[in-house]
Structure 1
Amino acid sequence: MDAMVEQDVCSGTTIRLGFRFSARASHGACLVGNGRDGFRLEAWSFRERHADMWLLPTTSIEPLHTHLVPIEDGRVVLIRYGRGIREVAVASPAGERPLETVDSPALRALPSRDPATLVWLVAAHREDHSVIHQVSADDMRVQPVLDVPGQLSGGWWLNEAGDLLAANQVLSGKRRIVILDLRHGTVTPLPEQAGGVLLTSPRRGEILVAARNSDGIGLGRVSPSDTRVRFFRALDRLTGTVLPLTLDPEGRRLALRVAQGAVSRLLIYDVATDTVTEVPCPPGVIRDAGWSETGLRVLFSSPATPAAVVRITEPFERRQAEGSATFCGHDARLEQFDGPAGPVEAVVYGEDWRRSRHVLVALHGGPEAAWELTFEPVFQRLADAGITIVAPNQRGSTGYGAAHRDAIKGCWGGPDLADIRHLLATLLRERRHPGCRIPMLFGVSYGAFLALLAAAADPTGWSRCVAVAPFVSGAALYTDGPASVRSLLDRLGGRAEIDDDLGPRDLLRLAPRITAPVLLVHGERDEVIPVAHSRLLARRLGAAGRRAAALFRYQEIPHAGHDPFVGPQGSALVEDVVAFLLTPPRLVHPRAAVAGSVR
């Protein structure tokens, strides 16, 4: 990768969240924090060979409830999410100015290419009704300009003037592309076979689409005047999950991310020649990209370095790097473990897990998610403390094909739990080094649910368990979870009961089986999994004779959301987790756990 990191992002524990590029990719914005004092708003301006950055004053920043849209003049529009209410404001060096409060369950902002328009707002008011609002750059007036039937997703500009928009419309259960003329107030649908919009080229007036072809789904291009899909044949030969990131200003080259397992690659596709060039990158993950007149920039992260904006220079080949991200911490590696149904890949931080005194199995949320070879602040601190982290992508994880991903449909805590139990057997069998302690568990959200299931399934196999924002059961979560979670449960069969020796995956029923000390953590304002689930679990674990602080602790984090590690109390929480995990264990590697506990 011939790349220039736009800033040393590794001073201390500087972390950037939610980075976004402006409509022409000449500016950017993100939230920046150090893990101790909360997050602040940071604006970026990209020049030929470097970037300028500055902090913008705001009234408040909540990372999980703030949406950013950078403007071409350096200002940033913020949307703050409340219960059904969306507050819109604009931040500049002079301060923050409120613009509008919108009563809408879903409000999005689209970057503007037109200097006379600060930003465009897309508000969903009912299932069959969306309104596009224009925010004037001069007087900040917010006015509706177009009423569109159905729900709109996405929104990409089809001309340089920035008044012709391509979006995906869902109406009466059907999905199609629509062309929205914001100047004349018209809506023009394209044929359904044109697929769905992914990106656009304003200069060429073309739409990049995902549409059905003879092999399934392919990437191609259409235009409002020619709706025949011209497929990019070279992309059909790629393996992995392909995600288009951005087109160059001329619309002739396409930057793509190809994810395979826990890592991703950066490819450049030439539309005219139907050829693909890979940009050499170190192992890590590419998040987003913007392609301006001054070049291509990508958001890149590796295990040892937080997300950095990297400038890719041409030709797209490996040369002397103009700059590099400072090494910030512990690196990680990928290892494969045998599973009951095939290999399971894991991201491993720290010493060799066979010899390390402390080993922690970390389980991701989702469940449609995966650990990636990227920067994880919590893992960095655990590795600092001498804990080796094994973060498996068990069945149910994404990035390893449909069969692996779909294995837990209708059986949450079935095949994935079997993989974790098999991993435990491997760890106990191979960790024969003197002083090795029994493995520990850590999980967040669905991973916390799975971690507690694992602790119940093999009580003597685990020495400690940290569960952050767990739910009691799929059925209970369906009763009091938000609509988005209920939809996920329906789609993945999360309420189905499993009939095996362990029985239904209800943690209230299984809690008495858990003998390992448990640290239970939940954010008071968790908007995904209600805090009531952990309160019920805390009472159940306490009733099971685990009242001593050495055996059980419940921490409810005031004002925190679904991820309590993000926010002003996150740093202290990480230290609490480290202290809990390093408390002297009850046992040192009992052979009985190998022989009798794990199946």
Structure 2
Amino acid sequence: MTACAIEPEAASEGGPPESGCTITADGAYGARLALDGDSWYPERWTLDGPEPYAVPLPVSQPEEPGTQVQPMGDGRVLVCRPVAGRHVFCLLYPTGPGTGEVMIGAVECPDEDTRLRLLPPAPGGEKAYALAVGRHSSAVWQVVGGAFGPERVAEIPGRCSGGVWLDRTGRMLALDRELGDRTKAVVVDLERAGEISPLLQIADDSDDRLLLADPDSGLLLIRSDAPSPGGGERLGWGVLGSTLPVRFPECLRLADCAVTPFAIQPGQVLTPENCGVALRIDGPVGSWVGLWRPDRRQVHHLAAPAGWLTGTGWWTRDGVLHLPYATAEVPCGVARMAVPSEETGDAPPAPAGDASPAGAEPSEPSEPSEPSEPDPPEPVAPRPVPLQQAPLGRLVTN
């Protein structure tokens, strides 16, 4: 089971935190900031048992809205608190009726232009990393798992965003680097002192960002503004190291809607076109869920469960999407969906607050659109190729 690769930006100073949650790479635990009256507190979700359940982890003082939380593989919750020009890290865990707290250390950010946020949970769950973005450079910090507290492990010229793990060892980290007037995805090798290599190069004058990656199949979900007949940014897919170009399916371009992938089905080794992809779709009527596979020409639109922690979810290897939600009646719940077997067009559902039960499709499907692209090619084993010959860079692992 693989969790989503979602990593929300830190809440703005004085503003509310994101409504979603963060999930470990193996889907065992989740963590979020929950609200009790006017007070925020960390909450851990246990997701690998027969039924999900939440454990509140309040400390002596309520958390500020800018606090970030992340679950670790052993069930503890990492907390990052901004305090007077620095970020303080600690680990929380339940201790009977109370909450235990282990202080880790702090990262100084004296420059008011520097922003620090936690990167998505690392594979294995034993380490955690943060990205500090300054005016002219970015730094990757290992904040959990080091010998002496937070340790800077990479320094990258340019301003970085994003953050996607490319392997299951927590060594290869992809970041979107803004250097000059262009943004390109690069790979940072954390075991080679932060050695940097290019990953995406669709056009010289395009902004190419990596959104998601699956280590099993090599499937990559990207966003690029490379020149196209319709103009604007497009959502596309490719395979790490493949000789095939990135493809931009027309079905992922929805009028008046923002489409963001948040989870990829794991376990489809050498068959990336069979991976289920979960999409968050934001439109005029609210947010809902899209289910898609690269070998399909259509997106299936499904109503999100009421109280969905928007943009959060994870797949099992057998193709079931899990969506965490919280309502007054069910404070810790998980809805399940599967990719429909038939290719039928679907209309967007009602807003999430008025959604039908999880997995229910809208009652009036639209007519299927005509295929806009050729059948997908036969799957090929990902292999490194020169960057000049393909849009995806090579992954050096030895």
Shorter-chain TM range is 0.5 to 0.7
2:117 is paired with a residue whose SS is strand
Identify which of structures 1 and 2 has the higher relative contact order when contacts are C-alpha pairs closer than 8 Å and 6+ apart: 2
Structure 1 unpaired stretches of 5+: 1-14, 318-333, 335-371, 376-599
Superposed CA deviations along residues 433-467 of structure 1, whole A, max 9, x for unmatched, are: xxxxxxxxxxxxxxxxxxxxxxxxxxxxxxxxxxx
Aligned to 2:338: 314
Aligned to 2:230: 215
Instruction: Check the 8 A contact 2:29/2:48 in 1, yes or no.
Output: no
Q: Greater helix percent: which structure?
A: 1
Map 1:495-574; keep pairs closer than 5 Å: none
User: Is 1:296 the counterpart of 2:329 in the alignment?
Assistant: no
Map 1:140-179; keep pairs closer than 5 Å: 141-179=149-187
Aligned to 1:121: 130
Instruction: Check the 8 A contact 1:86/1:102 in 2, yes or no.
Output: yes
Matches of 1:16 and 1:151 in 2, distance apart? 23
Matches of 1:240 and 1:116 in 2, distance apart? 34
1:164 deviates by: 0.8
Q: Cα–Cα, structure 1 residues 159 and 122, in superposed 2: closer, same or farther, change >3 Å?
A: same
Instruction: Check the 8 A contact 1:70/1:111 in 2, yes or no.
Output: no
Aligned to 2:264: 247
AA of the residue aligned to 1:291:
W
Using the aligned pairs only, state the percent identity: 25
Instruction: Check the 8 A contact 2:308/2:326 in 1, yes or no.
Output: yes
Matches of 1:135 and 1:282 in 2, distance apart? 34
1:187 deviates by: 0.7
Q: CA RMSD in A?
A: 3.3
Aligned to 2:388: none
Matches of 2:20 and 2:61 in 1, distance apart? 16
Map 1:73-472; keep pairs closer than 5 Å: 73-94=74-95, 95-104=100-109, 105-115=114-124, 117-124=126-133, 126-137=134-145, 139=147, 141-184=149-192, 185-189=194-198, 190-191=200-201, 193=203, 195-212=208-225, 213-216=228-231, 217-226=233-242, 228-236=245-253, 240-250=257-267, 252-281=275-304, 287-293=310-316, 295-300=320-325, 309-314=333-338, 316=340, 374=353
Instruction: Check the 8 A contact 1:115/1:137 in 2, yes or no.
Output: no
Q: Cα–Cα, structure 1 residues 83 and 173, in superposed 2: closer, same or farther, change >3 Å?
A: farther
Matches of 1:43 and 1:286 in 2, distance apart? 14
Matches of 1:16 and 1:210 in 2, distance apart? 22
Superposed CA deviations along residues 507-552 of structure 1, whole A, max 9, x for unmatched, are: xxxxxxxxxxxxxxxxxxxxxxxxxxxxxxxxxxxxxxxxxxxxxx
1:182 deviates by: 1.1
Q: Cα–Cα, structure 1 residues 49 and 235, in superposed 2: closer, same or farther, change >3 Å?
A: farther
AA of the residue aligned to 1:58:
V
1:35 deviates by: 1.1
Matches of 1:40 and 1:197 in 2, distance apart? 32
- Give 4+ residue runs of structure 1 displaced > 6 Å after superposition: 282-286, 304-307
Superposed CA deviations along residues 255-305 of structure 1, whole A, max 9, x for unmatched, are: 112222242221100122333223344678761222143842224578x87
1:288 is paired with a residue whose SS is coil
TM-score by length of 2: 0.67
AA of the residue aligned to 2:230:
D
Q: Cα–Cα, structure 1 residues 87 and 281, in superposed 2: closer, same or farther, change >3 Å?
A: closer
Matches of 2:282 and 2:126 in 1, distance apart? 36
Matches of 1:272 and 1:48 in 2, distance apart? 33
Superposed CA deviations along residues 389-441 of structure 1, whole A, max 9, x for unmatched, are: xxxxxxxxxxxxxxxxxxxxxxxxxxxxxxxxxxxxxxxxxxxxxxxxxxxxx
TM-score by length of 1: 0.46
AA of the residue aligned to 2:78:
V
Matches of 1:229 and 1:164 in 2, distance apart? 21
Structure 2 unpaired stretches of 5+: 1-16, 342-349, 355-398
Superposed CA deviations along residues 475-511 of structure 1, whole A, max 9, x for unmatched, are: xxxxxxxxxxxxxxxxxxxxxxxxxxxxxxxxxxxxx
Matches of 2:337 and 2:257 in 1, distance apart? 25
